[in-house]
Amino acid sequence: MRNKTVLIVIIFFISAVAGHSAIWPFAKKEKVKLTEARQLYSEKDYEGAIAKLKDFLVEGTVKRREKRAYLLLGDCYEKLGRLDSALNTYLEGVELNPKNKDLLERLAELYDRTDLTQNSIETYRRILDIDKDDENAMLGLARGYMKEGFFSKAQQYYKMFFDLKPKNMKSYFYEYALSYYKQRNFNAALFHIGLSLEAYKDRYKDNFLAAQISRDMGNKEDAAKFLAAALAAENNYEAVMTKALWAVQDGDYASALKIADGALAGSPSDRLALYIKYMAYARQGKQKEARKYLEKITAQDNDGFIRRVALANLNANI
């Protein structure tokens, strides 16, 4: 009996060694394809890398679970702008590696980039189920809910994110302030944009948002100051035209017309500049001049908001 047992063990050992000897060189050869794909990727030969990776993934169930290959393949497709293929790659990778945070994060980010925000939110939630303190997932959820217009929910995740004391925390105060501004909670918005300005006092977007908040709160002096700082940082079209609109509202028609004329010198069909000229003349009671600019707007072949407003005013026989 003892001899029979020893014989069985020896046969099993020989079979295992033989099987390993047969598989190991093949597995090693397949791993080379992954290494070659990385090299092609580093050389920006994304098509070549894709070919290697698809060849690598097509063989065997073990290799099909190789998460690194799915990450690299998806990234290659993204670099080529083939987002559908990238999405399918990450989905397959997640199906085979459902607990892998790297794949889930890539999938969530791509969902967000392609405006599949609900899918992005669901995927970020899956990441938090795996790691309740994942900073990227919390920030992704905050931004996702913000995009969907659920500002209170967004603020909840921003607060959770800030509680983790992430690096460069102040760099996120701008978007946190923006969530309050969109919610029309001007006091909270002003407080948090103030925190952002402590770190980014010369940055355009912070000053412009501070200007908008101040204006909506009725503080025209601070609004003008922040708008001037924004324009000093960047001669941005939106800020320039905001200055013109505020000038019309404040009865400074000469300044509004000057700004509008500057915009029209560079782009004669600028609808917003034309509408500012209409408003400036209409508020001064200069109906003939005002109507001329309405007609210029409505003559354009588009169905934008400004044209529709202009057409409504034109039909009202100003």
Is there a domain that residue 290 lies in?
yes
Residue 206 lies in a domain: no
Looking at residue 110, its amino acid is: L
Domain that holds residue 69: 28-98
Nearest to 173 by CA among 153, 186, 158, 187: 158
Q: Locate tokens 């033989």: which residue? A: 18
Q: Are residues 241 and 293 in the same domain?
A: yes
Three-state DSSP at 218 gives coil
Same domain, 253 and 285: yes
Q: Is 65 exposed, middle or buried (0-12, 13-18, 19+ CB in 10 A)?
A: middle
Q: Are residues 88 and 57 in the same domain?
A: yes
Model-level pTM?
Answer: 0.81
Q: Nearest 5°: phi and psi at 61? A: -75, -35
pLDDT attached to residue 132: 96
184 within some domain = no
Tell me which amino acid residue 95 is.
E
> Which segments in the chain show pLDDT lower than 70?
1-30, 59-65, 301-304, 307, 310-311, 313-318
CB 90 within 8 A of CB 100: no
Domain ends where: 145, 166, 187?
166
28: exposed, middle or buried (C-beta count within 10 Å: 0-12, 13-18, 19+)?
A: exposed
For residue range 189-220, list pLDDT tens digits in order.
Answer: 999 999 999 999 999 999 999 999 999 999 99
- Is residue 291, in this structure, part of any structural domain at all? yes
How many domains does one find in the chain? 3
What's 273's domain CATH number? 1.25.40.10
In this predicted structure, what is the pLDDT of residue 18? 42
Q: Are residues 273 and 310 in the same domain?
A: yes
Say how many Å lie between the first and final Cα of the chain, rounded: 111
Angle at 111 between CA 142 and CA 113, to 5 degrees: 80
Per-residue pLDDT tens over the stretch 101-131: 999 999 999 999 999 999 999 999 999 999 9
pLDDT at site 276: 95
